[in-house]
């Protein structure tokens, strides 16, 4: 799942809880194919908006952790 990939990338601390969050807020039905940059420390809401396209970003295929300086 996307939540598991985000967990494996170190972007969320609990895949099952993040998956539940996505479902509770309807983001699970909006996730599409594409690529986004997710900064370290992004909130669940920020991540959900990025991967669902609600932030005006692209979508998700591969998850790469982005370091901020």
Contact between 13 and 68 under an 8 Å Cβ cutoff? The reply is: no
Q: How far is CA 47 from the centre of its chain?
A: 4
Between residues 44 and 40, the one the model is more confident about:
44
Tell me the pTM.
0.73
Between residues 57 and 18, the one the model is more confident about:
18
User: Strands 36-39 and 63-66, how do they pair?
Assistant: parallel
Q: What is the CA radius of gyration of the chain?
A: 11
Among 30-34, 38-42, 46-50, 59-63, the least confident range: 59-63
Which three-class secondary structure state does DSSP give residue 54?
Answer: coil
HSE-up of residue 67 (Cα within 13 Å, Cβ side): 1
**pLDDT number for residue 66:** 58
- In this prediction, residue 23 has a pLDDT band, given cuts at 50, 70 and 90, of very high
In the predicted structure, residue 69 carries a pLDDT above the cut 80: no
């Amino acid at each position: 799942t996307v939540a598991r990939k985000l967990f494996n990338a170190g972007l969320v601390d609990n895949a099952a809880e993040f998956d539940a969050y996505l479902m509770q807020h309807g983001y699970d039905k909006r996730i599409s194919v594409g690529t986004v940059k997710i900064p370290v420390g992004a909130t669940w809401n920020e991540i959900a908006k990025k991967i669902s396209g609600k932030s005006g970003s692209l979508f998700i295929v591969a998850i790469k952790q982005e370091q901020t300086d």
